A and B are shown apart, each in its own frame.
Chain A
């Protein structure tokens, strides 16, 4: 088990290093991306351009540039943006995390509650009219593009019906929980709902099929034969067993979302979280920030993957030979 954990850790480090190298190479392979001229300013003199290149180490060979950047990011922790000069990358990410966490946590509560309820009900009502209906609702949730739904929600709540039904909806943006809890919740309400629609659909579908499988298992038949009530079977046996894959799926999704995968939702609703930070950095081709956010995101994905793997390995020894 310890060897497995160590191997998993080694692999995780390898993945993070590869990603940083990859981002770095993609960046410098992009034509016109050299930030020196943008930093130097419009119509800068060639000598000024050369000065800036030297100052930012852009005249160094690629491996040296990479090493310098990693040193600034991890050793000195003073990596600064190429676009907002003098602005440190790490504090920017640290400031963005609470926003993303607020969005993802709220949405996660919603989608878990709704998704589990829908999945369980669909399984319970299998063969009745309600089952395909719930399935359909779930599929629709999965099939609507998130950003489109967000834009339509904005259109309705901020403009079309803003004078009547939705006059209580505050403008887009984020208010910290510590500053005004009511505004925090109110402003996040529609982002939560929008993000939850997608995931509730996914979870309902997965849970339904897991429970269908579980209901066919021998132990359920045994329980039934013993005269245990259907409701008890459903909750105590089928749901409990089916929740294990759901929880692992949740681990993966949660990790990815906290890492910035809620990018589209954050962009559409103007939430200054990690996803939007990454998006702006990509738009500005601000390499230090891109590197910082992508590594941060990858860290969470790798972490959640490793945790899920470890849990599985603890439960099922066959998985251990990686």
Chain B
């Protein structure tokens, strides 16, 4: 998911999510103490509630999210909407809370049978499911859809799906893509067999994201752009203009086949309108003119939302991190002491304040966010010790800067130019000056910052960045962000922003990836150890785990939050 569009998020832990029932206007301290949610999030009803069917749901977003093509688009904004439109063979369970990380069969009849040492996945396609154009979904469509991932150069074609037999060539030369050995279908039996070159314990997740959606076999072999592709879910796209609105209407061919995988939707139409400023959008929701705002509410409206409209605010913790990648190949951060100094010095509470307060973010000092597989409470950089972060130690940080011999050096901090990022950047600039560096702040357009900080040619020393999970696996954080494979000098796509490439570090991560096939908890322990080592080397400085506020209108009911794809749009009812 594109990180630039996402900001706040929040996670009600599973326990709270499943037990809260009544609406409260004041925050109730929860059992885990992680989050207070204004409006209570009811457990998802087990079946469709016919009495709530109907109505028009009006959503707002500052700007459109780009192409409509589910195999190309990589923004949270549209991934959230795709949940009500497209289906893969598998899907993340569409329920509230921790259960939403569970993978369930969607267009497949059941979870796959895995054989051949984890290299072969066999599915049977569900019968009778139709696309919104009336055609039945067949195994031919499945085979074509997998091939299409490569012909349209899907963003994750190389990173997620290149393990399929024949896919590596497809990534390089999409025009001659041949997946006939990788995705084998049997029309008569209605089966699909996926062959991998090596076992991939994360395949089930990768088959559950929109890039693996099953589309009609005759979909255009290039990015469909603003032309809608027929859907399988309860809604289809009626119209799209990136300057005004995206409108979804009911898919006439849809009947519910699995309430867990793809529940029937409540509203008759769902419109996401674009163009209002977030301030104006929040006002519109307050006045009941709209039902929900995609973008996080501006800082000066938070208090109002938290008091006057507390019943309409839903806060959930995200599995994500805000962090400072430090360039291992450039002074001063090629020196471990300088990197450790940053970790000691940053007052996470101050940064949390700039983000919107303690109710909207939680200070961290581990790489893996709390509640994520492989996370173990540990904090190597907190005044007074302990396993969670309590306070910075400025004296120690200053001493480390002196010892590293980097005092007086120029340090450029690159952030995006929006309100929150820029203000955290200003705080860091002020802090680094105190530590003894000559710090300058370079706020640049949010749209280029993410690729700018990745390219080694731009010689970025330290930056403020965010990482939001693609799927719930430790490797999606540690392996993606710190392995040699993710570091390509001179390329705009080099997600290992710190530029760390350490053979031993890579080896321990590979070890954990092997262990996870057989023993998940042993693997988690290994990941925790990798996390600890990564933090002693101070590869990055983690800041906090963000939470997300969903601000809905007073008429909206049945708010459900999936930890994977956030608020479930199709499940909101307005009647």
Contacts and interface: CB of A to CB of B under 8 A. Distances in A.
A55 B153 contact: yes
B534 interface: no
B230 to A, nearest CB: 16
B458 A40 contact: no
A32 B243 contact: no
Contact of A48 (B2, B157, B455): B157
A36 B492 contact: yes
Interface string B442-459: 001111111110110110
A47 B158 contact: yes
Contact of B63 (A40, A42, A171, A280): A280
Interface of B: 1-3, 63-64, 66-69, 72, 74, 153-159, 162, 171-172, 174, 223-227, 241-244, 275-277, 279-280, 283-284, 287, 289, 444-452, 454-455, 457-458, 480, 486, 488, 491-493, 495
B158 to A, nearest CB: 2
Given A49-B492, A84-B64, A283 B447 contact: yes
Contact of A42 (B2, B243, B289, B457): B2
14 contacts: A31-B452, A41-B74, A42-B495, A43-B156, A43-B495, A44-B158, A47-B158, A48-B171, A80-B225, A95-B244, A159-B283, A270-B277, A272-B244, A285-B448
Contacts of A284: 445, 447
Which 10 pairs between the two chains have the least Cβ-Cβ distance?
A86-B225, A45-B158, A41-B155, A32-B452, A37-B492, A85-B67, A41-B74, A172-B280, A51-B153, A37-B451
A86 B223 contact: yes
A308 interface: no
Contact of A47 (B172, B486, B492): B172
Nearest to A30: B448
Contacts of B156: 41, 43-44
A105 interface: no
Given A32-B451, A270-B275, A276-B275, 4 more contacts: A47-B172, A87-B242, A285-B447, A285-B448
Given A48-B171, A95-B243, A32 B455 contact: yes
Nearest to A86: B225
Contact of B159 (A43, A173, A276, A277): A43
A48 B153 contact: yes
B480 A43 contact: yes
Nearest to B449: A32
B445 A40 contact: no
A272 B153 contact: no
Contacts of B448: 30, 32-33, 38, 285
Interface string A84-128: 111100001001100000000000000000000000000000000
A222 interface: no
Given A171-B287, A270-B276, A272-B244, A49 B493 contact: yes
Nearest to A277: B243
